[in-house]
Amino acid sequence: MEIRVRIEGIDEAVQQLNDLTALRQGLSAAAFYVEGQAKLKAPVDTGFLRNSIQVLRVTDREALIGVGAEYGIYQEMGTRFMSARPFMRPAVENNRERIAEIIRQALARGREVR
């Protein structure tokens, strides 16, 4: 015996789920790319600052990349005693096109899954 049930709109729901999954994968890949770029740009003395840069969270709409070293903000922004040595902002600003391309490619791959 076989029972078949057809649910209207399921194809659209599956496609939206595929798009959401692809978007999250794209955001994750872009976040790890930015993490790598920030590590390349981070000032290095002991390596603690560089090693403390990591992707903390990726959601459906955003990725959070953090710096665990407490002095990271002072390196990034500077103080009245020391000039800024930015590494996080340039990792994003100098790579905007590449970040967008990583996300676009993930979305394109997700649409191929149909």
Averaged pLDDT for residues 13-29:
80
Residue-level pLDDT at 109: 85
Tokens of 27: 């955001």
Axis crossing angle, helix 96-112 with helix 10-41, rounded to the nearest 10: 150
Residue-level pLDDT at 17: 66
**Burial of residue 88 (number of CB atoms within 10 Å: 0-12, 13-18, 19+):** buried
User: Residue 53 forms beta bridges with which residues?
Assistant: 67
Residue-level pLDDT at 14: 58
Q: How far apart are CA 22 and CA 7, in angstroms?
A: 24
Residue-level pLDDT at 11: 60
Residue-level pLDDT at 9: 56
Residue-level pLDDT at 113: 56
pLDDT at 104 > cutoff 70? yes
pLDDT class of 46 with cuts at 50, 70, 90: very high
Q: Which is more confident, 8 or 73?
A: 73
What does pTM read for this prediction? Answer: 0.83
Q: How far apart are CA 31 and CA 12, in angstroms?
A: 28
Q: Is-contact 34 95, C-beta < 8 A?
A: yes
